[in-house]
């Protein structure tokens, strides 16, 4: 079934630990995105990638890193998690990026204690 998968579905993490959120799409979309969703703030862009091998910073990139080694995968890494990174994280993809509709994965709920 075509779409975007994210793993894990949810995670509780101790502060200071490293964590990688996984995102995989099988639609051969060039562009991929990571957002975080916080109550009362909507979704905010963390990092994005217009094509494999390139990445860029979004609105709230601090404390996060990404890589795009191939078209399908776009992992998001928290090098040393802090409680303010408690959020729901959404991965999204779009066919070619600019002006395209973005399609979202099911999200990962992350709690940092």
Partner 1 sequence: AQTVTQSQPEMSVQEAETVTLSCTYDTSENNYYLFWYKQPPSRQMILVIRQEAYKQQNATENRFSVNFQKAAKSFSLKISDSQLGDTAMYFCAFMGGNTDKLIFGTGTRLQVFP
Residue with tokens 């399609």: 103
Strand 108-112 and strand 10-13: pairing?
Answer: parallel
Residue 90, interface with partner 1 (CB under 8 A)?
yes
Helix/strand number for the chain, H first, E second: 0, 11
CB of 89 to partner 1, least distance (A): 11
How deeply is 68 buried, as exposed, middle or buried, from its count of CB atoms within 10 A (0-12, 13-18, 19+)? buried
Which of 79, 106, 111, 113: binder of partner 1 (CB under 8 A)?
106
Which of 23, 66, 81, 94: binder of partner 1 (CB under 8 A)?
94
Q: Site residues (CB under 8 A) for partner 1? A: 31, 33, 35, 40-45, 48, 50, 58, 88, 90, 92, 94, 97-104, 106-107, 109
């Amino acid at each position: 079934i075509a779409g975007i998968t994210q793993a894990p579905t949810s995670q509780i993490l101790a502060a200071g630990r490293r964590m990688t959120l996984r995102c995989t799409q099988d639609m051969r979309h060039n562009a991929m995105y990571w957002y975080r969703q916080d109550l009362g703030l909507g979704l905010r862009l963390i990092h994005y990638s217009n094509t494999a091998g390139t990445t860029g910073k979004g609105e709230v990139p601090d404390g996060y890193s990404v890589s795009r080694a191939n078209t399908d995968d776009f992992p998001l890494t928290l090098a040393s998690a802090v409680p303010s990174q408690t959020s729901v994280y959404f991965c999204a993809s779009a066919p070619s990026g600019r002006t395209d509709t973005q399609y979202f994965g099911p999200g990962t709920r992350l709690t940092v204690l």
